[in-house]
Amino acid sequence: MSTGSLPVLPENIFQIVFEKSPGSLLVKADLPHFTIVAASDSYLEITASSRKDILGKGFFEVFPDDEKFDEDTNARYVFTKVVETGEAIEVPTYRFDVYNKSKKQDEIRYWSCCNTPILNPDRKVAYILNTVVDITDEVKAREAALESESRLRLAAEAAEFATWDLNLLNQTFIYSPRLSEIFGHPPETVITLDDIRKQVNKDDMQNIVVKAYEQALKLGNYLYEVRINWPDGSLHWIKTQGLVIKDKEGQPVRMLGTILDTTETKRDEIRKNDFIAMASHELKTPLTSLKAYIQLLAKKLASSDDGFVINSLDKAGIQINKMTDLIYGFLDLSKLEPGMLQLVKEDFEINKLISDCLAEMKLTHPGHIINFEPQKNIIVKADREKIGQVITNFLSNAIKYSNKGCTIIISCKKTGSNVTVSVTDKGIGIKPKDQEKLFQRFYRVESERMKNISGFGIGLYLANEIIQLHKGEIGVESAEGKGSTFYFSLPLPD
Ligand code: ADP
């Protein structure tokens, strides 16, 4: 330990320290004058005053009471209270404008101050130390944040959006009043996350919300549309979209987003789809008889040597097939809404279903060779019509996307507790980057060749929906220019 003598300090060291300290003023507790006894340089600068002008004068003589201060921030009130109670009083925020010499005008400034009593030996308040801190930047930043939040909220309200914010750690759920309205309650109703979850349609909860939540945790954002039940029993649609916020360790901590009521648009869409379904259904009947007449005519004239007639009938047959495909496509379009696909499960032999689909395909597309060697009986419990639709989609794609005369192979195998059906073609094949997206709604590969092949890009989307509803798997293996294998598997009954 050093035993050196203490440095010699100037006599007025405490005065110097006080005068250099930030924003400090010392007043005597001589109510009601509060005579100023010391002021630091920065206090003088803030108040645009000089020591000789203020020292020895009463505080309120120099800084008259400002009427805009309320009781809690009024200096006279605060000083008096400090003297009476002998306790320090903090004023967290108050406004005191400062004259800016270079701009020659008053500038809005915010301050935070503390009034600490200094007691004399008989424990009475002798002085008050008033220390002020400039918090203008902090207050302005807070105001700007509040303003941008309220601007955002106004914009969201104008667009009839509801906003919400979920803390994933403690499940605190904050939302705008519009949210309750969207869920069919009066605007100010308190509604919990659990209430909301209970109102979501059960199937959509399982098939859409749960999946979207898992995906959001991985990808960081989500977008989905689901059906909700209002307390009055009516059905509504909502679209929600948002972000997942992660902490520094990459752990998801918050989810926030917007919700929009899409019921009206959805109802319009359903009306439009109903119309398409009805119109396509009506078109199917005359088209089937037209096809039958053309086939009859073709048979009758098969031995004719009028090449033009035979060629024309052939072309008419091809055009009718195209039109049939389009009409089936329209019918599929009308089933695109969530919940429109309902399964009607039954036990059936899957090889027989494949043979039936094949027989129909061969009738309409005689130019392709389709090989199928059914194995032993395999009974599945599934929706026969919809599985047939998947097989037909795979087969018609294999035909559409490969040249006439190419061989297509269809197989059906039992693998463990599943059955797997696959359709292999030697057609145009698919690039890996497109393979990932084929099962999305309206996705079609963009290429020169594709321009001449009609389609809506919904067959595989529906196939995926159907297989997912059966809790099966669907996929593709393909090499560009070499061909593709589309497959699906279904769990077999125990
Ligand atoms: P569509 O055939 O009506 O366009 P799909 O949903 O059935 O709609 O197929 C989506 C896309 O996948 C097709 O547009 C095509 O680009 C690609 N595709 C599907 N099957 C095959 C196949 N067997 N060979 C090559 N491309 C295929």
d(CA 494, CA 191): 43
**Phi-psi group of 339: left, alpha or beta (phi > 0 → left; psi -120 to 50 → alpha; rest → beta):** left
Q: How many CB atoms lie within 10 A of CB 136?
A: 15
Mean pLDDT of 304-308: 86
**Percent of all residues in the chain with a pLDDT value above 70, rounded to a whole number:** 96
* Residue 408 pLDDT greater than 90, yes or no: yes
Of 340, 445, 464, nearest to 393 (Cα)?
Answer: 464
CATH, range 266-336:
1.10.287
State the distance from the centre of ligand 1 to the C-alpha of 402, rounded, in angstroms. Answer: 11
Class of domain 159-261: alpha beta
pLDDT tens-digit map of 417-448: 999 999 999 999 999 999 989 998 888 998 88
Task: Compare 452 and 20 and report the one with higher pLDDT.
Answer: 20
Task: Compare 44 and 456 and report the one with higher pLDDT.
Answer: 44
450 Cβ below 6 A of ligand 1? yes
Beta bridge partners of 256: 165, 243
Asked if omega into 32 is within 30° of 0 (cis), the reply is: yes
Residue with tokens 């100037």: 10
State the distance from the centre of ligand 1 to the C-alpha of 445, rounded, in angstroms. Answer: 7
Phi and psi for 83 in degrees, rounded to 5? -65, -40
d(CA 195, CA 175): 13
Q: Read off the pLDDT band of 135 (50, 70, 90).
A: very high
Ligand 1 binding pocket mutation candidate from 394, 401, 443, 480 (most atoms within 8 A of CB): 401
State the distance from the centre of ligand 1 to the C-alpha of 278, rounded, in angstroms. Answer: 26
Q: Read off the pLDDT band of 494 (50, 70, 90).
A: confident
Task: Compare 153 and 324 and report the one with higher pLDDT.
Answer: 324
- 101: which 2 tokens? 């010499």
Contacts (Cβ under 8 Å, ≥6 apart) of 197: 205, 209
**pLDDT value of residue 195:** 92
**pLDDT value of residue 336:** 66
444 Cβ below 6 A of ligand 1? yes
The b-or-e profile of 381-399 (16+ CB within 10 A means b, else e) is ebbbebbbbbbbbbbbbbb
**pLDDT value of residue 340:** 66
**pLDDT value of residue 376:** 81
**CA-only gyration radius of the chain, Å:** 40
326 Cβ below 6 A of ligand 1? no
- 121: which 2 tokens? 């030996």
CATH 3.30.450.20 domain range(s) in the chain: 13-140, 159-261
428 Cβ below 6 A of ligand 1? yes
Task: Let me know: does 167 contact 247? Beta carbons within 8 Å.
Answer: no
430 Cβ below 6 A of ligand 1? yes
Residue with tokens 């009805």: 278
Give the Å distances, CA to CA, from 321 to 145, 325, 391, 452: 63, 6, 18, 15
Ligand 1 binding pocket mutation candidate from 390, 402, 444 (most atoms within 8 A of CB): 444
pLDDT tens-digit map of 72-121: 668 888 999 999 999 999 998 888 888 777 888 888 889 899 999 999 99
pTM recorded for the entire structure: 0.53
Note the CATH architecture for domain 13-140.
2-Layer Sandwich (3.30)
465 Cβ below 6 A of ligand 1? no
- 206: which 2 tokens? 């399982």
d(CA 333, CA 340): 11
Residue nearest (by alpha carbon) to ligand 1 atom 21: 397
200 Cβ below 6 A of ligand 1? no
**pLDDT value of residue 106:** 84
Ligand 1 binding pocket mutation candidate from 409, 460, 464, 484 (most atoms within 8 A of CB): 460
Beta bridge partners of 162: 259
Of 296, 390, 280, 375, nearest to 329 (Cα)?
Answer: 280
Given the CA of residue 461, which atom of ligand 1 is nearest to it?
A: 6
CATH 1.10.287 domain range(s) in the chain: 266-336
460 Cβ below 6 A of ligand 1? yes
State the distance from the centre of ligand 1 to the C-alpha of 435, rounded, in angstroms. Answer: 10
**pLDDT value of residue 490:** 97
Of 350, 453, 355, 434, nearest to 395 (Cα)?
Answer: 355
- Per CATH, domain 345-491 is 3.30.565.10: yes
d(CA 18, CA 37): 11
Phi and psi for 87 in degrees, rounded to 5? -115, 150
Residue nearest (by alpha carbon) to ligand 1 atom 19: 397
464 Cβ below 6 A of ligand 1? no
d(CA 398, CA 362): 13
Residue nearest (by alpha carbon) to ligand 1 atom 23: 398
State the distance from the centre of ligand 1 to the C-alpha of 454, rounded, in angstroms. Answer: 10
Of 264, 213, 211, nearest to 235 (Cα)?
Answer: 264
Secondary structure, 3-state, the chain? CCCCCCCCCCCCHHHHHHHHCCCEEEEECCCCCCEEEEECHHHHHHCCCCHHHHCCCEHHHHCCCCCCCCCCCCHHHHHHHHHHHCCCEEEEEEECCEEECCCCEEECCEEEEEEEEEECCCCCEEEEEEEEEECHHHHHHHHHHHHHHHHHHHHHHHCCCEEEEEECCCCCEEECCHHHHHCCCCCCCCCCHHHHHHHECHHHHHHHHHHHHHHHHHHCEEEEEEEEECCCCCEEEEEEEEEEEECCCCCEEEEEEEEEECHHHHHHHHHHHHHHHHHHHHHHHHHHHHHHHHHHHHHHCCCCCCHHHHHHHHHHHHHHHHHHHHHHHHHHHCCCCCCCCCCCCEEEEHHHHHHHHHHHHHHHCCCCEEEECCCCCCEEEECHHHHHHHHHHHHHHHHHCCCCCCEEEEEEEEECCEEEEEEEECCCCCCHHHHCCCCCCCCCCCCCHHHHCCCCCCHHHHHHHHHHHCCCEEEEEEECCCEEEEEEEEECCC
Give the Å distances, CA to CA, from 412 to 191, 249, 406, 472: 51, 47, 20, 15
Residue with tokens 């601007």: 151
d(CA 10, CA 7): 10
* Residue 70 pLDDT greater than 80, yes or no: no
Task: Let me know: does 406 contact 425? Beta carbons within 8 Å.
Answer: yes
